[in-house]
Structure formats: C-alpha cells, structure tokens
Amino acid sequence: LNRAWLPDLIYADGRWLPDHAIVCDDTGTIVSIAESHEAADAIRFPRRALLPGLVNAHSHAFQRVIRGRTERRSEHSTDSFWTWREQMYAAANRLEPQDIYAASRLAFLEMALTGITAVGEFHYIHHSPEGSRYSDPNLLEREVIRAARDVGIRIALLRVAYARAGYEIEPNPLQKRFIEESPDEYLKNLEELLSVPELNDGHAWVGVAPHSVRAVPLDYLKTIVAFANERALPVHMHVAEQPAEVSACIEEYGRSPVALLDTEGLLSKRFTAVHAIHVTPKAISAMARSGAIVCACPTTERNLGDGVVPAKSYFDGGIVVALGSDSQIQIDLLEDARELEYHLRLQHTSRNVLAPSDDTSSAALARRLFDCATINGATSIGFQGGKLEVGAPADFFTVDLDDPSIAGSSRDDLLANIVFSLSRSAVSDVVVGGKQIVANGRHEAQEAIVQEYSHRLHG
Ligand SMILES: [Zn+2]
C-alpha cells in the first residue's frame, strides 16, 4: 500500500517544488514526487516545507552522559582534548550495558527531533567495566543498534578497532574496555556482528572503524581495511584531530597520518577521515586523488579546542565533506553545517568562504552546506539516502514555515534561512522509511526515553 504526504514545499534536486506530493511504497522507498492532485488521500502537512533527512556521519552516542560536566577547569594547568579524554574515559568505564542503551536511546531521540534520520555510530566500548569479555562480543554493539531501532532512525554501526594506547606508550588502564589486541580477534568479532540477523535490512548495517593511527598499528590497520574493501564496507577513522597525533605518527613511521594512509594504499572512496584538521596541502591532494571523504564535526571541534577543518581546501579539491555530532555537546547538524563556514569566516576575516565561485544566488552556499548534512553523510556511511528522488528511501523531515526563526522566507531564501537560522523548535515531523517517528515536534516514546535516561544515568 502506497503512502503520500503533501506539504507546501518539497526540497528535491536542489530546488523547492510547490504543491507536490511525495509517495512511498510499503518497503519505504519513494515511488513518485508529483503534482498533488494525483494523491487525493495524501497526509497533509500544511505550512510545512519537507526536506531529505539529515545524516549524522560521526557519533559516539554514549558521550551524551558527560554533557555539561567537562566545562570547568580541572586540576591540570591547561585543559585540552587530552584532559577532556580522561574525563570521558572515566564516564565510559562506569557504563553497564543497560546504561549504554539508555544513553544511546536518548542521543538518538535528540537526533530524531532535529531531523536526523541516519547515524554513523563509531562504537568502541566492547568489554565489561572490568575489561573482561562478554559472552557475546557484540553485546554492547547490539544495545546501541537496539536503541537506534527503538527510536526509529537508521544506523551504520562502525565497529571500532583499538589495539594500544599509542606508539611506545604503556597500556592505559582506562582503555581496557576498548582493546582487541589482534586483527584476528577484531575480525572474528566483526564477522559475528555481520551475521547478526537483525542487521542488513537497510535500517542497520556495519562498517569498519580503525580508531586512529595512534591506536591501531600499521599491520593491523592494513589487515582490517583489506577485509572492509573485500566486503565493500565503509571505513571510518579519526585522522589528524590533534597535532600530537600527527607528531607521534611522524616519529613512528616518518610520515604524517594522511601520508601513511596514502602511501600504504588505504585511502579510497569508501574511506572517511574524521576531523582531518592538521593536514598539509600535499595531504589534501592525496585525499582528493583517492576519492576519500572528510567528516568534519565543528560543534565538537570548537568545544574541544581541536582546530578548524580546512573545508575551503577540501571543497576546492572536490573532496566530499560530511558532518558529525561526535561528542554530542550539541546535537544539531545544521549548526555543524553553519559552523563549517563560520569557523573559516573567523579565520579568513571574510564572508561566504565556501560559496561556489560560479553561482551568486543566496541558495548556492546554503545548498553546499545542506549537502554536507545530507547526501555527503549518506555517501560516507554507505547508503543511498540523503536525497529525495524516486528509488531513494522515504527519509525526510518537515519544518514549520511559521516558526519565528524562519518566518517570512521566500522560496529564494528559504534554504539559506534553514541552514543559517533554523531553530530546533521548527522541526515538526520526521519520517524514516515511510514511517512517521516524530509528529508536531514530539516522539511518541519521548517521555519514557527521557525518564529512563534521567533515572538510570543521573538518578
Ligand atoms: Zn570521534
């Protein structure tokens, strides 16, 4: 049985279509986007504009539990990414499987309420709080997948490989829940996850995520990337987030992280470099040649003091840039989209840095940034979403055209209003695979999810 929705405007193929209905079949696939009179029994969304669902390409859902708790001076003389990391580890090490579920479900709920319909979850907690193996090596992975399913968003579970604290660095006991020492152990557990029956139905799937060049030595890295390439799985890796990671890599291999990945043949169209902040022009050229994707996480990067993603160089090199909410300090992918541009404005003391040179319309820059939050993210996590067209999944959200944050927009400036100024309060309805999960800004399980989280994690 087909279902149809009829908003005032639909954003498809880079433009606004008035008075069109979007129709999907019972598999949740779009079968038409056509003039509205052909769909008499459509569900009406009056005073709403409908857009493709946002794709959050980099998330650590459990980090939601430390929100608001690290914004203070610690006993260290200077707080940095590395001191934040110790606080994050301490929180991670307390979480039981049900806590991971509750925290993930809350993070995914917040994502859904902002129009996110798919997430790439970079998941690295594998073992018990004591560091012992669970009898199911993917127990926590399955809890995270269950949380996404219960909220109703799609999930690419990017299963993380973590072998060591770093080059010539003593094991860090705070990392004991992450470590799978050999590629054999990692691949055995990954294969088990790949064979889990609830996976691979289009709503949940698996990718390979070597944590970083710091945490995974080269032989291990090559083995698991080769496995991913054989199976055509997405590969995600933190790359050049911090200068210390770059200098340690040069010390170990005589090459920067990107140079190492490039010369070892590990970059490809399926490879996403998360952050990719501290890079040289030569590294950017290497990434462009290989077709590798960059995932920027500007709301987290500004919070952690990581630095600025050189997005202008990536855009100029034709590199696909996706976006992620990463630490969950803020879950609002459109905020990440605008910060990608705003950080460059502060750096360059100029405006419209990422605007294309051949299009001066007010929608041109907004369109590029919106693509980062949608289709580029979908490409990064390995699925055919992030756009509204026949054959694509019916994943979309609506915004209230009368919300004060965007009221009075014309069709010409509506997308720029949404990208630069939309408040979360304007997100009204969210549909994933043809199923409505948010209506009038509320998720049907919202109260229960919030209560369970508050009771369990902060009770
Ligand atoms: Zn991350």
Q: How far is the CA of 59 from the centre of ligand 1 (A)?
A: 7
Residue 398 contacts residue 375 (beta carbons within 8 Å):
no
Q: How far is the CA of 238 from the centre of ligand 1 (A)?
A: 6
Residues 6+ apart with CB under 8 A from 234: 120, 156, 158, 207, 208, 228, 270, 272, 380, 381, 382
The Cα 227–Cα 229 span in angstroms is 5
> Rg of the Cα trace of the chain?
21
Q: How far is the CA of 384 from the centre of ligand 1 (A)?
A: 23
pLDDT in 10s for each residue of the chain, 459 residues: 899 999 999 999 999 999 999 999 999 999 999 987 666 688 999 999 999 999 999 999 999 999 988 888 877 778 888 888 988 888 889 999 999 999 999 999 999 999 999 999 999 999 999 999 999 999 999 999 999 999 999 999 999 999 999 999 999 999 999 999 999 999 999 999 999 987 868 999 999 999 999 999 999 999 999 999 999 999 999 999 999 999 999 999 999 999 999 999 999 999 999 999 999 999 999 999 999 999 999 999 999 999 999 999 999 999 999 999 999 999 999 999 999 999 999 999 999 999 999 998 889 999 999 999 999 999 999 999 999 999 999 999 999 999 999 999 999 999 999 999 999 999 999 999 999 999 999 999 999 999 999 999 987
Q: What pLDDT, on a 0 to 100 scale, did the predictor assign at position 37?
A: 67
The Cα 19–Cα 8 span in angstroms is 6
Q: What pLDDT, on a 0 to 100 scale, did the predictor assign at position 39?
A: 64
Question: With b meaning 16 or more CB within 10 Å and e meaning fewer, what string describes 243-281?
Answer: eebbebbeebbebbbbbbbbeeebbeebbbbbbbbbbee
Provide the 8-state DSSP code for 28. S
Q: How far is the CA of 58 from the centre of ligand 1 (A)?
A: 6
Question: 275 catalytic, yes or no?
Answer: yes
The Cα 132–Cα 183 span in angstroms is 18
Residue 61 contacts residue 141 (beta carbons within 8 Å):
no
Q: What pLDDT, on a 0 to 100 scale, did the predictor assign at position 228?
A: 98
Q: How far is the CA of 383 from the centre of ligand 1 (A)?
A: 20
Measured in whole angstroms, the distance separating CA 346 from the mean position of its chain's CA atoms is 24
Catalytic residue among 262, 326, 395, 403: 326
Q: How far is the CA of 280 from the centre of ligand 1 (A)?
A: 21
The Cα 136–Cα 294 span in angstroms is 33
Q: How far is the CA of 143 from the centre of ligand 1 (A)?
A: 19
Residues 6+ apart with CB under 8 A from 264: 218, 221, 222
Q: Which residue carries 């579970």 as its tokens?
A: 157
- Which H or E element spans position 339? helix 333-348
181: phi then psi, degrees, rounded to nearest 5: -65, -35
Q: What pLDDT, on a 0 to 100 scale, did the predictor assign at position 38?
A: 65
Q: Please state the pTM of the whole predicted model.
A: 0.97
Q: How far is the CA of 436 from the centre of ligand 1 (A)?
A: 29
- Which H or E element spans position 239? strand 235-239
Residue 403 contacts residue 348 (beta carbons within 8 Å):
no
Q: How far is the CA of 220 from the centre of ligand 1 (A)?
A: 20
Catalytic residue among 20, 58, 60, 275: 275
Task: Give the length of the chain.
Answer: 459
The Cα 165–Cα 21 span in angstroms is 53
